[in-house]
A and B are shown apart, each in its own frame.
Chain A
């Protein structure tokens, strides 16, 4: 099972770029890296997914080095509304076995004015 390790919490200020790094040393060849965002009293929602190099969408960028043993979620110019818990997941999305995908405790990001 590809377990992930990420910081428990991070603080930043409005307008700053925030980078959250996730370690996944035993990532498998078919595994993808997916990040979710969770606001209080809501279910997690998909942010971004990647396999290697760099992926960018309207919300964030995901940087994955060549060895794929870590990944970095980058949130440009954060605002107060980006305060949430961010989860890094590693798993084969083509596989129907949910037990291979583990949600850790996530990173609690707090944005200050």
Chain B
């Protein structure tokens, strides 16, 4: 039973293109995240959102933007794709709330983006 769905497993785009990566979760989680994963660097947080229309920058937001118009959907946007944005992109969601202990993140299967 898939709970966090990323729209594409593999994507190839050209330099300068505007790229949309879509993520949908069906667990009614408040928090959603976008990470990128590169060899030797682990997972790095790009942006996250703790509510509809709310967003906060993570550790490496440059070159990216996000959109969260509905609770279940969190989109990552590459305004003008560059080759150094070739990476595995992972979406995750997590419940939150004061006093509510979660089991942590639920991740999607990832989108491997290649920018040529």
> Do A45 and B42 touch (CB < 8 A)?
no
Which chain B residue shows the least CB distance to A34?
Answer: B104
Which chain A residue shows the least CB distance to B33?
Answer: A98
B31 at the interface (CB under 8 A from A): yes
Which chain B residue shows the least CB distance to A44?
Answer: B107
Minimum distance in angstroms from B98 CB to a CB of chain A = 6
Looking at the complex, which of B13-21, B64-72, B78-86, B108-116 is the stretch in contact with chain A?
Answer: B108-116
Interface residues of B in 48-66 (CB under 8 A from A): 48, 50, 56, 58-59
> Do B59 and A99 touch (CB < 8 A)?
yes
Binding site for B on A (CB under 8 A): 32, 34, 36, 41-46, 49, 87, 89, 93-99, 103-106
Q: Give CA–CA (A37, B43) in the complex, Å.
A: 13
> Do A99 and B45 touch (CB < 8 A)?
yes
Q: How many inter-chain contacts with C-beta < 8 Å in the A-B complex? A: 73
Contact of A103 among B40, B42, B106 (CB under 8 A): B42
> Do B107 and A94 touch (CB < 8 A)?
no
Beyond A43-B107, A87-B43, 6 additional contacts (C-beta under 8 Å) are A36-B104, A41-B112, A94-B100, A96-B31, A98-B50, A105-B40
Q: Give CA–CA (A105, B42) in the complex, Å.
A: 4
> Do B103 and A105 touch (CB < 8 A)?
no
Q: Give CA–CA (A104, B110) in the complex, Å.
A: 18
Minimum distance in angstroms from B43 CB to a CB of chain A = 4
Which chain B positions have C-beta within 8 A of A93?
Answer: 94, 101-104
Known contacts A96-B96, A98-B48; A44 and B105 CB within 8 A of each other: yes
Contact of B99 among A36, A43, A94, A104 (CB under 8 A): A94
B74 at the interface (CB under 8 A from A): no
14 A-B pairs within 8 Å (CB atoms) are namely A34-B104, A41-B109, A41-B110, A44-B107, A46-B106, A93-B94, A93-B104, A94-B97, A94-B98, A95-B96, A96-B50, A98-B31, A105-B40, A105-B42
